[in-house]
């Protein structure tokens, strides 16, 4: 399997030439490990490098005055932390590693150069940011108009498809290295209530979740429960594809 998760992701929507793959591979001028629970970028920072998640899970988040935390995105391998950083000034939110992460560092100029020289790649990178935005819209719906049961189910369905897109799902089983509190901070709930909802989903035979591994026992049922429709993720139809691909 292609080792670069960004390439795996982009291949889901466009064919990349060997030349383009090479360009992507050479983007990361540096790779570092970040410990779980450490900030990768903190609100107010003006990083000079673009960060790419190569391995592990991270989360965008914002704090509110009373100490509450809202996670606004889960970042998995192949996701950019801040591809926009050359345009906007300071970060308006923070990004924390949820697990130990391998992070690739990319020079802003290199992104600019690629987007000048490779129009197909440029479109693909654009696509990633537009999907990020679509996901964000869905999270607004999640927190605004879905109850706890639907919201949790929906998040699980979303991560299922996204993990599938980078080849990290086999037989509807994949790593979900989140604590219930982190899930709660994403769904706008308390960890206590999240716990009860997960028990309900388990009790209904929709999922199994333990030791940071999620098994979806009933994909259709879970989607039904969350009112999930994958269109907003704009992935090419590749149902059934997964780690067994190569």
The contact set with DNA (CB under 7 A) reads: 147-149, 179-181, 188-193, 195-196, 198-199, 211
Which partner in a second copy, DNA, none is near 191 (CB below 5 to 8 A by kind)? DNA
Query: In terms of DSSP bridges, do strands 207-210 and 58-63 run parallel, antiparallel, or are they unpaired?
Result: unpaired
Asked if 13 contacts 234 with a C-beta cutoff of 8 angstroms, the reply is: yes
The distance in angstroms from the start CA to the end CA of the chain is 6
Asked if 44 contacts 82 with a C-beta cutoff of 8 angstroms, the reply is: no
Query: For DNA, which is the closer residue by CB, 47 or 188?
Result: 188
For residue 183, the minimal CB distance to a second copy (Å) is 12
Which partner in DNA, a second copy, none is near 93 (CB below 5 to 8 A by kind)? a second copy
Which partner in a second copy, DNA, none is near 15 (CB below 5 to 8 A by kind)? none
Q: Give the Cα separation of 55 and 37 in Å (integer).
A: 15
Which partner in a second copy, DNA, none is near 134 (CB below 5 to 8 A by kind)? a second copy
Q: Give the Cα separation of 44 and 146 in Å (integer).
A: 32
Query: For DNA, which is the closer residue by CB, 53 or 189?
Result: 189
Q: Which stretches of the chain bind a second copy, using CB under 8 A?
A: 60, 62, 64-65, 68-70, 72-73, 84, 87-90, 92-93, 123, 126-127, 129-134, 136-141, 143-146, 150, 187-188, 227, 231-232, 234
Q: Give the Cα separation of 29 and 44 in Å (integer).
A: 24
Task: Identify the three-state secondary structure at position 206.
Answer: coil
């Amino acid at each position: 399997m292609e080792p670069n998760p960004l390439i795996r992701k982009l291949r889901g929507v466009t064919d990349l030439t060997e030349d383009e793959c090479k360009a992507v591979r050479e983007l990361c001028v540096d790779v570092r490990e970040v410990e779980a629970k450490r900030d990768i970028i903190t609100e107010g920072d003006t990083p000079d490098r673009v960060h790419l998640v190569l391995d592990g899970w991270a989360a965008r988040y914002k704090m509110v005055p009373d100490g509450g935390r809202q996670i606004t995105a889960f970042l998995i391998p192949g996701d950019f932390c801040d591809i926009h950083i050359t345009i906007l000034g300071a970060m308006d939110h923070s990004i924390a590693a949820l697990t130990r992460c391998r992070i690739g560092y990319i020079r802003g100029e290199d992104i600019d150069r690629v987007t000048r020289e490779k129009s197909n790649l440029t479109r693909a990178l654009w696509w990633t940011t537009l999907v990020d935005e679509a996901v964000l819209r869905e999270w607004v719906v999640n927190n605004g108009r879905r109850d706890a049961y639907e919201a949790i189910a929906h998040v699980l369905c979303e991560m299922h498809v996204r993990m599938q897109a980078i080849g990290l799902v086999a037989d509807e089983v994949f790593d979900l290295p989140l604590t219930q509190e982190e899930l709660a901070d994403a769904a706008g709930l308390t960890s206590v209530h999240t716990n009860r909802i997960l028990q309900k989903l388990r009790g209904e035979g929709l999922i199994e979740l333990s030791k940071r591994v999620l098994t979806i026992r009933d994909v259709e049922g879970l989607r039904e429960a969350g009112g999930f429709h994958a269109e907003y993720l704009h992935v090419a139809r590749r149902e059934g594809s997964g780690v067994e691909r190569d």
